[in-house]
A and B are shown apart, each in its own frame.
Chain A
């Protein structure tokens, strides 16, 4: 038959495909598979047969566990990366754009420095202090130098992933929490003072709070704690602690030179916008990753996180539109961040509709905190670390007590009520205990540590250095050499 180009080639390919497809089942019948059951005609009651079946079941069991572990570990490592991204460059850009040009590098450097410092401290002793032992207030030293932290899961915390994954995931939280405080001290805190203070703060304020809320035996642990506190991803541990400490720092350092008369608008909202969006995406690792597994709870937390961010952005923007007649970009992104803060403790305990409500409330309340309350009291919380994280974290923690439901996360046991929507209103009381302890720790710890830091190295720069700018005086650099 003469070949007629395309039509002919098509028919040839079709013929080949048919031949290949019929050949495959034929060939597989000829190669024995590795886990084949014996093909002898032995009856099921022989011991060899039972052992083979049990072996096979044991192997299947291992394989299933390995598969689950692989899924969970993949998600958790991804989440750890997302949370680190929240600090660098998320927070660095968000804060960087909000300060004046002459202080851009300084605020970014503070976040970056913590990425280095906290990592080393965590490896040496931090992880152990937070998650070792079973103390009421602080952990122990059994995992110092990460002894015993490797591929084996730690069933107390995350039974399907290597403990090293859990360790490195939690590390990213420990990095970003002190970084948040730099928002209140921006444009006037010495770099050496920042480094000393935040290092001490991590050890003295963060570690105990992390242990109390998340550590085995912790006073506020949702599972088995004396005052079981619902804090899925760190509303108390991360946001209240850093936000309240930020307020104390702002008051201790005093106002920036020229504040509030001299205009100090953000030098680049473009940077802040990029940072805020990176924070939003990164927050999926922060909240959904706190499920410590890749199952439906992670999905639930992911959804709640996203919904709260959206509702809060709209809430802040709506409040602004009503007040000023216009919605600003800064307001919208600030609103989203406020919503993300508030949903942090609630993310793995509340449904999607309550998440919208929590976001909306946080957006409006934080807007008022930042525009009204700050002006009334006159403190210079330069980048609103207290107004967004302190206030948002407090609101979120209390709202968690109201909106938590056992149908979302039966944290207290099957069919046990969790929050207000389940009728368990006393949970709000427990949330309040957690909030007060976090406030107390942050307040007292920060004052003491600031005083100590001031003895070691001044915390505030001189007025001359402040006017010249921190980039040049603290780091010998300029953020932008656009004429170069």
Chain B
């Protein structure tokens, strides 16, 4: 089982979500986050005082997937989240030791 974390542009989120649903992925956790990599922020001015805002809003998707699905999900996200500009985001994969469904105590890939 692999945990997939994807940080993407908020404007691409709906398309990514729809594309994932189409390939059968129905479970994910989504958070609104702020951050940046190499993308520059912007300046805001309030009554003459300048603020550099370099924490930009992004969407973070997290899901735990059976090994067999990982490469298909990665490809889907890459295709739908890409705009080609700096700030598109990143995907991280890490191994998961165990998954348990709280409702009925199912374990392993059956719990996904």
The docked-state distance in angstroms from the alpha carbon of A359 to that of B44 is 27
CB of B102 closer than 8 Å to a CB of A: no
The docked-state distance in angstroms from the alpha carbon of A334 to that of B47 is 9
Whether A328 lies near B48 (C-beta < 8 A) is no
Q: Which residues of chain B from 39 to 85 have a CB within 8 Å of any chain A CB?
A: 44-49, 51
Question: A253-268 CB contact bits vs B (8 Å, 1 = yes)?
Answer: 0000000100101100
The docked-state distance in angstroms from the alpha carbon of A370 to that of B47 is 7
Contacts of B51 in A (CB 8 A): 263, 265
Question: A362-380 CB contact bits vs B (8 Å, 1 = yes)?
Answer: 0000000011101100000
Question: How far in angstroms is the closest Cβ of chain A from B69?
Answer: 32
Whether B48 lies near A265 (C-beta < 8 A) is no
Question: A324-351 CB contact bits vs B (8 Å, 1 = yes)?
Answer: 1010101100100000000000000000
Contacts of B48 in A (CB 8 A): 370-372, 374-375
Contacts of A334 in B (CB 8 A): 47
CB of A384 closer than 8 Å to a CB of B: yes
Question: How far in angstroms is the closest Cβ of chain A from B32?
Answer: 13
Q: Which residues of chain B from 4 to 53 have a CB within 8 Å of any chain A CB?
A: 44-49, 51
Whether A266 lies near B49 (C-beta < 8 A) is no
Interface of A (DSSP majority class): helix
Whether B49 lies near A260 (C-beta < 8 A) is yes
Whether B46 lies near A266 (C-beta < 8 A) is yes
- Count CB-based A-B contacts (< 8 Å): 23
The docked-state distance in angstroms from the alpha carbon of A11 to that of B72 is 81
The docked-state distance in angstroms from the alpha carbon of A372 to that of B46 is 13
Contacts of B49 in A (CB 8 A): 260, 265
Question: How far in angstroms is the closest Cβ of chain A from B71?
Answer: 37
Question: How far in angstroms is the closest Cβ of chain B from A380?
Answer: 11
Whether B45 lies near A384 (C-beta < 8 A) is no
Contacts of A384 in B (CB 8 A): 47
Q: Which residues of chain A from 272 to 330 have a CB within 8 Å of any chain B CB?
A: 324, 326, 328, 330
Contacts of A263 in B (CB 8 A): 51
Smallest CB-CB separation from B48: which chain A residue? A371
Question: How far in angstroms is the closest Cβ of chain B from A277?
Answer: 18
The docked-state distance in angstroms from the alpha carbon of A263 to that of B47 is 13
The docked-state distance in angstroms from the alpha carbon of A324 to that of B44 is 10
The docked-state distance in angstroms from the alpha carbon of A324 to that of B48 is 9
Contacts of A371 in B (CB 8 A): 47-48
Question: How far in angstroms is the closest Cβ of chain B from A111?
Answer: 20
Smallest CB-CB separation from A383: which chain B residue? B47
The docked-state distance in angstroms from the alpha carbon of A374 to that of B46 is 13
Most buried by B among A263, A374, A375: A263
From A265, A331, A370, A374, contact of B44 by CB (8 A): A265
Question: How far in angstroms is the closest Cβ of chain A from B10?
Answer: 19
Question: How far in angstroms is the closest Cβ of chain B from A265?
Answer: 5
Question: How far in angstroms is the closest Cβ of chain A from B66?
Answer: 33
Q: Which residues of chain A from 154 to 172 have a CB within 8 Å of any chain B CB?
A: none
Smallest CB-CB separation from A368: which chain B residue? B48
Question: How far in angstroms is the closest Cβ of chain B from A245?
Answer: 21
Contacts of B44 in A (CB 8 A): 265
Question: How far in angstroms is the closest Cβ of chain B from A50?
Answer: 72
The docked-state distance in angstroms from the alpha carbon of A194 to that of B44 is 32
Most buried by A among B48, B49, B51: B48
Q: Which residues of chain A from 428 to 458 have a CB within 8 Å of any chain B CB?
A: none
Question: How far in angstroms is the closest Cβ of chain B from A364?
Answer: 13
Question: How far in angstroms is the closest Cβ of chain A from B49?
Answer: 7
The docked-state distance in angstroms from the alpha carbon of A328 to that of B44 is 10
Contacts of A328 in B (CB 8 A): 45-46
Smallest CB-CB separation from A328: which chain B residue? B45
The docked-state distance in angstroms from the alpha carbon of A131 to that of B45 is 45
Question: How far in angstroms is the closest Cβ of chain B from A272?
Answer: 10
The docked-state distance in angstroms from the alpha carbon of A318 to that of B45 is 15
17 more contacts with CB within 8 A, not counting A266-B46, A330-B46, are: A265-B44, A265-B46, A265-B49, A265-B51, A324-B45, A328-B45, A328-B46, A330-B47, A331-B47, A370-B47, A370-B48, A371-B47, A371-B48, A372-B48, A374-B48, A375-B48, A384-B47
7 CB < 8 A contacts A-B:
A263-B51, A328-B46, A330-B46, A334-B47, A370-B48, A372-B48, A375-B48
The 3 closest A-B pairs by CB, nearest first: A371-B48, A263-B51, A370-B47
